[in-house]
Amino acid sequence: MYRNLLQAIADCSSRIADDYVGHEGEVAALIDQCQQAIEDELEGALGPWELRELDYARTALRSGWLRLALAATEKALVVSQLSPDEYAYGVNYSKPDA
């Protein structure tokens, strides 16, 4: 499932490389599909890192930065597959300073 989603993100990124016009819905759908896949894998419990990346993806989408939205979505998928130790290190290291 994840491999298919990662490929869909790569394909969409290639399609929008030169022109974002008309692709907002496709990007929004990919964000939703990835969130659902993560929720299914983790039995509905999205972690803080995944939530942060998906929120960032939606913010980038609303701002018109479609490739940035896709990059954040891809990152959410990837971090959801990390080992617990890698995840704990990454989620703590990547926190913005308060």
* Amino acid at site 30: L
- Write out the DSSP string of 75-98: HHHHHTTS-HHHHHHHHHHTSPP-
In angstroms and rounded to an integer, the radius of gyration of the C-alpha atoms of the chain is 13
pLDDT in tens, 36-84: 999 998 887 899 999 999 999 999 999 999 999 999 999 999 999 999 8
pLDDT in tens, 14-31: 999 888 889 999 999 999
Rounded to the nearest 10°, the torsion over CA 7, 8, 13, 15 is 120
Contacts of 9 (CB under 8 A, 6+ apart): 30, 34, 70, 73, 74, 77
pLDDT given at position 44: 79
pLDDT given at position 98: 47
